[in-house]
Structure 1
Amino acid sequence: MAPLNPALVATFAPPVMEARRWLDGVHFPPDRPLINVSQAAPVDPPPLALRQAMADAALNQPQAHLYGPVLGNAELRAELASTMNRHYGGTVEPAQVAITQGCNQAFTAAIATLAAAGDEVILPTPWYFNHAMWLRMNDIRAVPLPCGTGLLPDPEQAAALITPRTKAIVLVTPNNPSGAEYPGGLVAAFHAVARRHGLVLILDETYRDFDSRNGAPHDLFLDPDWHRDVIHLYSFSKAFRLTGHRVGALVTGTPRMVEVEKFLDCVSISASQMGQIGALWGLRNLMPWVASEREGILTRRTAMMEGFAGTEGWELLGCGAYFTYVRHPFDLPSPDLCQRLVREAGLLMLPGTMFRPDGGGDEMRIAFANIDTAGIAEFFTRLRRFTL
């Protein structure tokens, strides 16, 4: 057999794709269709007005079909910087913004500027599996930082894990998979640990538009030197339902942008022009619509919290943005339980084992953003009926 990269071979399979294979050969009767709470990506298309703007660009803007600047279109970089300054305070310059092919690529670019094989990056657990996958396939050690009460990580425990090989600490808030919203003081404490040890804090706020708190969730950007040791990640996919157009962002200091540009030039040359056109139009026209979407997500969040409060044996560990993270009551490992729930209850969710290097056998992640309150009620009806 032809050689294969051993680091890639040693990386676990994509969890969402693995879970989809559990559907093979399973029949879902009309009166009990599948309720899929395995993936957080929006399943509805962007609003009609956004689609019309993108269609107009496709027909009338020749540049929409060509390569663009490697770090992103100037108008979008400037608009996102302005949006961030309004949201967080402080100052983000357009030159400190790069547009990427989705937020996953923003993470890969950040790591490419920071770490090499044999280095270490601290990830709170349960972790976002794509972060752990990218580190593993690059032979970078993902150092697990177990979360405590409320699935919040402890900055001093993180400090105790730091070695000469550590390059960064990664935080995701609101968190995927747990839904936990990290208090501003906690984010600041992690930033202080990173700065004290000469590390970078990577802050992934893919789901910031659905945070239950009003106003800025932290004050990192009020520090005039934030750009020295903060890399901020964002996704337009969730805000404007642009998942198929792959458009995200990385925000950091301009010296690091030199290295980011090298990486992006090799892997994508430039982010999707249609995605960038859609994101720019969305930032300029759709923020009231995003606010209404947020209210809908918060209504679903409340329904999930109330549902688990009334479901015997299940323990709610975290809930926010798109996600609920729970502990199940059954004497069965969560991967086996999840597959039985597909076959016997028409429910597809992900086991906690997909979000940890080990353990998680009594945990589940539920991505509830794509089911309405009626769907949530049906979800709990089926969950309460299920028995081993």
Structure 2
Amino acid sequence: MFNPAIEALNAPPVSTVLDWKASYDGRHGDMIDMSQAVPGYPAHPDMLNALAAAAATADNARYGRVEGDDNLRAAYAAHLSTLYAADIAADHTHITSGCNQAFVAAALAVAGRGESILMMRPCYFNHESSLGMLGISVGYVDCHDEHGLLPSCADISAAITPEVRAVALVSPNNPAGTIYPPDLLAEILALCKARGIWLILDETYRDFLPLAAGAPHNLFASDGWQDHLIQLYSFSKSYCMPGHRLGAVTSGAEMIFQLSKIIDNIQICAPRAPQQAITPMLDQLASWRDANRARIAARATVFSEVISQLEGWTLISTGAYFGYVRHPFDKMGSREVAQRMARDAGVLTIPGAFFGDGQDQYLRFAFANASREVIGHLANRLGLLT
């Protein structure tokens, strides 16, 4: 009675984990929720006021352009041009209803049934399940602890079969936090060009790179990037507005045209009010974004220090919002460990098993959700389990 491709999908992982909250009786204090990747601080008052004003405007209740409102596309292209020191035009951009929708549209634009997209493992579960839902096969390139969970370009090359239409990356990575060096990204894009396929690069967390980092990469300066690069972005994390569902795609004008056909059949246009609200905020909130970048970096430092204090727990990779940690319980899978953590220690995390085969010894901690003080309590809480 149901589509077999949908029946084969797992239940939404975050919803599954949030249900474990009910198992905790509060004996050690409030639940420490480090599961879903959401900002642990509110949106700027100017952003909230702009959203309210935009929602009260009659014109924003009407349909807009499929590719996104012209003023936001122009402002976003200018923002990207400054960030990457490149010449990016408004018609290189497409506004979407969140970054997950951007990924679905990008996948549909380049691959169909019988074709494949390569993903790095551990992999973001929504990307994996989206491809399963669409009937697009998934190929995997395993990233190993000894390389900081970065893939080898040689391994990617070996995995590209005639059916592969794209390589999909997330940097900074979800779930591992790993930050792809610009040289590695350039090497992977050059490989995609040589093999006649696309690089789909999800940069949802690019505004949370280390404080000393420069531009995330130089891919937009590469000749012919428009024909092989599809960059994805989410406004949700940087502007604390995940409930308003706003994302963006940057690629060549021909790819943007193909995406418009897909989005027209999925949603017609991204929500108008947040598009109008965020347009002036790209410049206006630059200092606020930088302050939040420093705030998250401080949380990352505390998280790393806490894990280093715990015997048997090993921080494999960290960056942006996430820490990917090997747990010490050799006889338990990650789901069992995570459920026990929720029930007995009041700590909520995502099991590694949700990020692909071979990940049962790991847990993903989204430390951006919690203050430094709360993160500091992790050592005592996790110590209850050993």
Note whether the superposition's TM-score is higher than 0.5.
yes
Amino acid in structure 2 at the alignment position of 1:134: S
Q: CA deviation at 1:28?
A: 2.1
Q: Identify which range, 49-58 or 110-119, moves more after superposition.
A: 49-58
Give the equivalent residue in structure 2 for 1:169.
167
- The residue matched to 2:16 in structure 1 has which SS? helix
Q: CA deviation at 1:13?
A: 1.8
Amino acid in structure 1 at the alignment position of 2:335: P
Give the equivalent residue in structure 2 for 1:324.
323
Q: Identify which range, 9-18 or 121-130, moves more after superposition.
A: 9-18
Give matches, 1:1-388, under 5 Å. Answer: 3-29=1-27, 32-42=29-39, 44-59=41-56, 61-148=57-144, 149-212=147-210, 213-330=212-329, 331-356=331-356, 358-387=357-386
Q: CA deviation at 1:305?
A: 1.3
Amino acid in structure 2 at the alignment position of 1:346: G
Q: Distance in 2 between matches of 1:293 and 1:105?
A: 26
Amino acid in structure 2 at the alignment position of 1:47: H
Q: CA deviation at 1:310?
A: 1.5
The normalised TM-score by structure 2 is 0.96
Name stretches of at least 5 consecutive residues in structure 2 with no aligned partner: none
Q: Identify which range, 292-301 or 212-221, moves more after superposition.
A: 212-221
Q: CA deviation at 1:385?
A: 2.7
Q: Distance in 1 between matches of 2:187 and 2:129?
A: 27
Amino acid in structure 2 at the alignment position of 1:130: N
Q: Distance in 2 between matches of 1:166 and 1:301?
A: 36
The normalised TM-score by structure 1 is 0.96
CA RMSD of aligned residues (A): 1.2
Residues 25 and 316 from structure 1, CA distance in 2 versus in 1: closer, same or farther, beyond 3 angstroms?
A: closer
Q: Distance in 1 between matches of 2:139 and 2:364?
A: 21
Q: CA deviation at 1:66?
A: 1.3
- The residue matched to 1:23 in structure 2 has which SS? helix
- The residue matched to 1:319 in structure 2 has which SS? strand
Contact 2:24 / 2:344 at 8 angstroms: preserved in 1?
A: no
Q: CA deviation at 1:43?
A: 5.0
Contact 2:120 / 2:169 at 8 angstroms: preserved in 1?
A: yes
Contact 2:148 / 2:317 at 8 angstroms: preserved in 1?
A: yes
Q: CA deviation at 1:271?
A: 0.4
- The residue matched to 1:317 in structure 2 has which SS? strand
- The residue matched to 1:151 in structure 2 has which SS? coil
Q: Distance in 2 between matches of 1:191 and 1:371?
A: 35
Q: Identify which range, 86-95 or 213-222, moves more after superposition.
A: 213-222
Q: CA deviation at 1:23?
A: 2.3
Q: Distance in 2 between matches of 1:327 and 1:25?
A: 23
Contact 1:247 / 1:279 at 8 angstroms: preserved in 2?
A: no
Q: Distance in 1 between matches of 2:59 and 2:241?
A: 19
Contact 1:91 / 1:224 at 8 angstroms: preserved in 2?
A: no
State how many pairs are aligned: 382
Contact 1:126 / 1:147 at 8 angstroms: preserved in 2?
A: yes
Contact 2:54 / 2:274 at 8 angstroms: preserved in 1?
A: no
Q: CA deviation at 1:224?
A: 3.6
Amino acid in structure 1 at the alignment position of 2:46: A
1:211-258 C-alpha deviation (Å, 9 max, x unpaired): 114221211011242111000000100010110100000011111122
Q: CA deviation at 1:48?
A: 1.0
Q: CA deviation at 1:381?
A: 1.7
Q: Identify which range, 19-28 or 242-251, moves more after superposition.
A: 19-28
1:47-76 C-alpha deviation (Å, 9 max, x unpaired): 1111112222233x3212111111100011
Q: Distance in 1 between matches of 2:142 and 2:218?
A: 25
Name stretches of at least 5 consecutive residues in structure 1 with no aligned partner: none
Q: Distance in 2 between matches of 1:34 and 1:118?
A: 45
Q: Distance in 1 between matches of 2:255 and 2:221?
A: 20
1:161-198 C-alpha deviation (Å, 9 max, x unpaired): 11111000011100000000010001011101111100
